[in-house]
Structure 1
Amino acid sequence: MSGTTERGATERKHSNLSLSLFAALFIFLLALPTRAASVDDQFRSWLQSDLWPEAKAKGISRKTFDEAFIGVKPNLKLPDLVMPGEKPTTPEKQHQAEFGPPGAYFAEKTVRAVTAGGRTRDSANARVLGLIEKRYGVPGEVLLAIWGRETGFGAAKMPYDAFEVLGTKAFMSTRKDFFRTEVLAALEIVERGLAPVNAMKSSWAGALGQPQFMPTSFLKHAVDFDGDGRPDIWNSTPDVLASIANYLVHYGWVRGRGWGTEVIVPAKVSCSLEGPDQGKKIADWVAMGIRRTDNKAFQASELKAEGFLLMPAGRSGPAFIVTPNFYVLKQYNTSDLYALFIGHAADRIARGDATFTASWGPVGDLHRSDIAALQRALEAKGYDVGSADGLPGFKTRRSIGDWQAKNARAATCFPDAALVTALK
């Protein structure tokens, strides 16, 4: 009897627990749409009481504002959002090309898609590219490389409503101020008749059209090169290419100079000499023993000009002497690897599919949090790493090299797991 009683009590206990769990789950599920509705309501209130007054003060009409946001709700699937009333969180582990193996960024399949497509479009758009280069001084192959890298020469679709993306991010992202400026610029584009509301399609980050311009960049750099009265970076190839050229010129593209060339750096030349703030005349780099991998001499005009050492994988990958134009390419995307990809692809579009002479070593593959910890350790020792953001930029790379040299280690100028452990 006692066993039966105990079993019955246990069964009733489990039954009650199951009912409690079911009730809690039911309540949670009921709360989900309520929470979403609450966010929607807060978003609509923010639009009218916060964003609209500023838009009005900037000359945006009520008609434009209402058309832009009719039916728009916050897209909670976008990245880097912070729910109202909550604090932002940082993922513990992250993987991106800037802190993964650098060589992966230059997968031949990816590079060849841009270069093959670029050569095809070079022939098809030769006249337009010639006119653009004459006006802006930017070689056509550079424009083609950016166009191909950004949107696959326009093949990548822009599936998002720009006002949904920009509005959501201005309301609840980790960079509210940045996206507030951008959504107001997007409204200005429509207000000025530069694009209708239904044409404002973007990426998940709010970048517009085939060149992937943020709205502020559109207003500054978009060009009507086909002469139809408005800059159309969604559909007009001449406008797309000329707008990219205008962007690069704005940031200082030097007519008549390339972006850089691959070189061999002797062991006696420290990898910690890299960076845009440590430039030398190319003749001085040559005097230090640096030479081109193709064994060609630098042109006399180049020898007199300034060049910069670039070693994006430290001693475990190709090295380059780059010109100021390389850093103009970085204005399009702040990654060294992105700018190098564009320069390399442009060379291959113009001269054929020659890969880098040096190979990429098996380095990288660290979590961003690991690199950030390494950067903080270097900062504590007085090194300038730029910022402890988990991205091994040139300041981090050369700080690593300096620390290694001072601690009787071979200077590699790139983070690895053993280095993270040694600096903890």
Structure 2
Amino acid sequence: MLLLSFLSSPASAQSIDAQFRAWLEQDLWPEAKANGVSKKTFDAAFSGVTPNLKLPDLVLPGQKAETPKKQHQAEFGSPGSYFAEKTIGAVTSGGRARAGRYGKTLAAIEKQYGVPGGVVLAIWGRESGFGAAKIPYDAFEVLGTKAFLATRKEMFRTEVIGALVMLEKGLARKAAMKSSWAGALGQPQFLPTSFLKHAVDFDGDGVADIWSSTPDTLASIANYLADYGWVKGRDWGFEVKVPASVSCALEGPDRGRAISEWASLGVERVSGKPFPRHELKAEGFLLMPAGRNGPAFIVTPNFYVLKEYNESDLYALFIGHGADRIAGGDRQFSGRWGKVGGLYRSDVAAMQRGLEKLGYDVGGADGLPGFKTRRSIGDWQARNGEAPTCFPDAGIVKALR
């Protein structure tokens, strides 16, 4: 209500506009200049740009940052909704159609970067609908607003400088610099710094074009994953059955063990097949995105490389599962998602603060139930004589607020 009241005042909006222009000239411009950006490029980038106060996760002048009540990103919402057949089906059917069309290109990309074509296609489909999605925002409006007002100002400041460098070097035209509400660009949805680090020219025309070149888009995605350590020849993970004797609190990338050891504990693939022989001695990690209320997985380091693209467990799982379906045909997970994800983000944050007071490392009280929060819940439940579920619910929130 306070936010709506503030924004309803024309004088307040005008004041923010004035503060924004002053910030551009007095604060951002000197840093842009130090990074080789000309005044001509800087002024052209921000010509006519005013703060977009409808963007999420903003903190207006004089206000205090608070955990949002609701979750804006689908990747951190209800798992069942995120894996709706309509959504993942569109990615996998579209991916299979393009696997044949771009077969030679994908084979060349896999040979060079080691990333399977199905993974690249799944990311392309998820990020931009294979290039068909409308990306409506002016990147400088989004990045400028967020660098000035967002909860993560420093991150977006780095990105807006990166976008200015792209313009200065002629790597993109301002008219092409359309972004998502988070400032991501082009068909692979790269932030500007990711473009500068990972975008490649794969069609040989001398330009890394992630807006209109399919070979450049696909190769840039693969190069991104390779740069973050994709291990050639390893899978991303396997859906498994986890016996009650194996605690869900063992989840996490810092609690890995040989896949053969997981198997010796009774963890087995839902398909009934043994784990691939070449994977047995390699490290694997328990992943239970909904705790005991959904499917479980043993994932490899490649899963965490996928998380470098988007830090959500559900996103990385969607890409891995989508890649499997593109290669092997549509099939759903064997495990079913329970009714989870209905809590307000602010309630989860309050629960996390309660766990922190008890000495638990929940990964930060951000309202997002990541693996550190999930396993902390499981440990707390076990200590209090409850069967661990490793996922927040209304009762746990009430007990820990």
Q: TM-score, normalized by length of structure 1? A: 0.89
1:374–1:258 CA distance, 2 compared to 1 (3 A)? same
Spell out the pairing of 1:199-348 with structure 2 (5 A cutoff).
Answer: 199-348=176-325
Distance of 2:361 and 2:243 partners within structure 1: 25
3-state DSSP of counterpart to 1:262: strand
Spell out the pairing of 1:20-419 with structure 2 (5 A cutoff).
Answer: 32-94=9-71, 97=74, 100-419=77-396
Q: Percent identity?
A: 71
3-state DSSP of counterpart to 2:212: coil
Q: What letter is aligned with 1:188?
A: V
Distance of 1:168 and 1:222 partners within structure 2: 25
CA contact (8 A) 1:317 1:360 kept: yes
Residue 402 of structure 1: how far off its partner (Å): 1.3
Q: What letter is aligned with 1:148?
A: G
Q: What letter is aligned with 1:394?
A: F
Distance of 1:404 and 1:273 partners within structure 2: 14
Distance of 2:148 and 2:89 partners within structure 1: 40
Q: What letter is aligned with 2:137?
A: Y
3-state DSSP of counterpart to 1:188: helix
Deviation per residue, 1:272-308 (Å, 9 max, x gap)? 1111111111111111111111111122211111111
CA contact (8 A) 1:170 1:180 kept: yes
Deviation per residue, 1:129-166 (Å, 9 max, x gap)? 01100000000000110111111111111211111211
Q: What letter is aligned with 2:265?
A: M
**Comparing 197-206 with 345-354, which one deviates more in the overlay?**
197-206
3-state DSSP of counterpart to 2:186: coil
Alpha-carbon RMSD across the aligned residues, in angstroms, is 1.8
Distance of 1:175 and 1:398 partners within structure 2: 26
CA contact (8 A) 2:348 2:368 kept: yes
Distance of 2:324 and 2:70 partners within structure 1: 35
Distance of 1:47 and 1:96 partners within structure 2: 28
The unaligned stretches of length 5 or more in structure 1 are 1-27
1:41–1:404 CA distance, 2 compared to 1 (3 A)? closer
Alignment match, 1:12: none
Deviation per residue, 1:363-421 (Å, 9 max, x gap)? 33111122122222222222221111111111111111112122221111111112222
3-state DSSP of counterpart to 1:171: helix
CA contact (8 A) 2:246 2:265 kept: yes
3-state DSSP of counterpart to 1:383: coil
3-state DSSP of counterpart to 2:309: coil
Distance of 1:159 and 1:96 partners within structure 2: 17
Residue 207 of structure 1: how far off its partner (Å): 0.7
**Comparing 197-206 with 170-179, which one deviates more in the overlay?**
170-179
Aligned length: 396
CA contact (8 A) 1:82 1:172 kept: yes
Q: What letter is aligned with 1:261?
A: F
Residue 38 of structure 1: how far off its partner (Å): 3.1
1:309–1:86 CA distance, 2 compared to 1 (3 A)? closer
Residue 92 of structure 1: how far off its partner (Å): 3.7
Deviation per residue, 1:162-183 (Å, 9 max, x gap)? 1121122222222222211111
**Comparing 237-246 with 190-199, which one deviates more in the overlay?**
190-199
3-state DSSP of counterpart to 2:160: helix
Residue 422 of structure 1: how far off its partner (Å): 2.9
Q: What letter is aligned with 1:200?
A: M
CA contact (8 A) 1:222 1:243 kept: yes
CA contact (8 A) 2:56 2:72 kept: no
Residue 71 of structure 1: how far off its partner (Å): 2.0
Distance of 2:26 and 2:76 partners within structure 1: 41
CA contact (8 A) 1:207 1:214 kept: yes
Distance of 1:150 and 1:106 partners within structure 2: 15
Alignment match, 1:7: none
1:216–1:387 CA distance, 2 compared to 1 (3 A)? same
Distance of 1:177 and 1:229 partners within structure 2: 32
Residue 32 of structure 1: how far off its partner (Å): 3.8
CA contact (8 A) 2:67 2:366 kept: no
1:401–1:173 CA distance, 2 compared to 1 (3 A)? closer
Residue 39 of structure 1: how far off its partner (Å): 2.6
Residue 337 of structure 1: how far off its partner (Å): 0.7
Residue 69 of structure 1: how far off its partner (Å): 1.7
Residue 43 of structure 1: how far off its partner (Å): 2.2
Q: What letter is aligned with 2:242?
A: V
CA contact (8 A) 1:99 1:366 kept: no
Residue 84 of structure 1: how far off its partner (Å): 3.3
Q: What letter is aligned with 2:272?
A: N
1:200–1:363 CA distance, 2 compared to 1 (3 A)? closer
Q: What letter is aligned with 2:246?
A: V
CA contact (8 A) 1:100 1:366 kept: no
Alignment match, 1:15: none
3-state DSSP of counterpart to 1:155: coil
Residue 352 of structure 1: how far off its partner (Å): 0.2
